[in-house]
Amino acid sequence: MTADTTQNGAERKRRAKQQSKAEAAAQPFEAQLEDLEGIVTALEDGRLPLEEALSLYERGMQLAKMCQDRLDEAELRVRRLRVAPPIDGAEDDDEPIFSLEDFDTDE
């Protein structure tokens, strides 16, 4: 195998990985989570060849990061959209006043 052949193979793998990441990012959150659960199940089974297990693990880590990023973004949106209580002495406008509050999952 020549250096050019090895380099072309590595480039094809890199492009395929980028395409796979882009496709995963375009998926709805629920589909990403379902894919991640499938990967976890396959890895827990323990019957995959090492290279396939490593590849799935990498894909799972990418999906986990994408899911966490989406959850963080959703949390931030909720925090931003919480309506603030009216300010004493302020004029009563039709537009609500919004404030950034901590997100509390116990509410």
Q: Looking at the domain assignment, is residue 70 inside a domain?
A: yes
How many structural domains are present in the chain? 1
Q: Which domain holds residue 22?
A: 3-81
49 falls within a domain? yes
89 in a structural domain: no
Pairwise CA distance, residues 13 & 89, whole Å: 63
Start-to-end Cα distance in the chain: 62
pTM above 0.85, yes or no: no
One digit per residue, the tens of pLDDT, for the chain of length 107 reads 555 555 665 666 666 666 677 887 889 999 999 999 999 999 999 999 999 999 999 999 999 999 999 999 999 888 887 765 666 655 555 566 666 666 665 55
By C-alpha distance, which of 104, 29, 41 is closest to 68?
A: 29
Q: Is residue 18 part of a domain?
A: yes
Phi and psi torsions of 87, nearest 5°: -85, 130
pLDDT, residue 96, reads 60
The answer to the question of residue 7 being in a domain is yes
CA dist., res. 18 & res. 26, Å (int): 12
Task: Assign residue 32 the CATH number of its domain.
Answer: 1.10.287.1040
11, 52 in Cβ contact below 8 A?
no
